[in-house]
Amino acid sequence: MLELQNICKFYHAGTVNEMCLFEDFSLTVGEGEFVSVVGSNGSGKTSLLNLICGSIPLDAGSIRIGGRDITRMPEFKRQRRIGRVYQNPSMGTCPNMTILENMALADTKGRSFNLRPGTDKSRIGFYKEQLSTLGLGLEDKLSVKVGVLSGGQRQAMALLMSTMTPIEFLILDEHTAALDPKTAETIMQLTGKIVAEKHLTTIMVTHNLRFAVEYGNRLLMMHQGQTILDKKGREKSDMRVEDILDMFNAISIECGN
């Protein structure tokens, strides 16, 4: 369970450019929820994820995961229980290391990075099996450097790597935005499969309204640091792309676009 309470976030505080993004923003995400977040640029979607992960500090309020207060916890410590996939496919893998080495790195998360061999040979079978679920043939290219893979292949690996060790939360930050439509579809199907198999609580920011409607069991629409739409259960499953599009248009008119 993730609880954001009375969050305030200012940008350029104390200058003429001061901008208030969140003011008294609260959000609760329950166990096993798969939340799709949509919204226009600058509505605070990515800032929301950055606040949860600790990539940017917040000015007031508190963040709790599973009842524990993590407001002041440094970013890297929070990642122990969070898996994150970025928009940029190269953020989730090491380009100069091989597929096998990348898998071994991800597998060591949460354990001590000591002087034992980096790759546990007895785990190679498991890595191959995991890679084969991607259906990209990567299991036969273990000694290939990740840097030569395509964006889609890297993103698939990033998804696999971020969910390999037990985590409580999966954060997807427009993770299909940089991919071509076909690859985006594949990655999204894969995401749905992994989330369902591992029962992960997930927050997915996306600009693809169809993905937002088709996947997940809760839908949030953000606008100027507030949630202007929050649908769960039946209400969510009944939603169509057109409904969201209409909302988008309404917002745009309001903003004078």
Q: What residues make contact with other proteins under the rule CB under 8 A?
A: 74-77, 79-80, 83-84, 86, 90-97, 101, 104-106, 108-110, 112-119, 162
Q: Which is nearer to other proteins, 7 or 106 (CB)?
A: 106
Determine phi and psi for 252, rounding to 5 degrees. -60, -40
Q: How far apart are CA 59 and CA 23, in angstroms?
A: 10
Nearer to other proteins, 105 or 239 (CB): 105
| Nearest distance, CB of residue 16 and other proteins, angstroms | 26
Q: Which residue has the tokens 């935005």?
A: 177
Q: At its nearest, how many Å lie between other proteins and the CB of residue 148?
A: 13
- If the CB atoms of residues 101 and 230 are measured against other proteins, the closer one turns out to be 101
- The token pair at 40 is 């226009």
Give every strand in the sheet of 201-205, ordered side by side.
82-85, 169-173, 201-205, 34-39, 218-223, 226-232
* 83 or 225: CB nearest other proteins: 83
CB-count burial class (<10 Å; 0-12, 13-18, 19+) for 117 = exposed
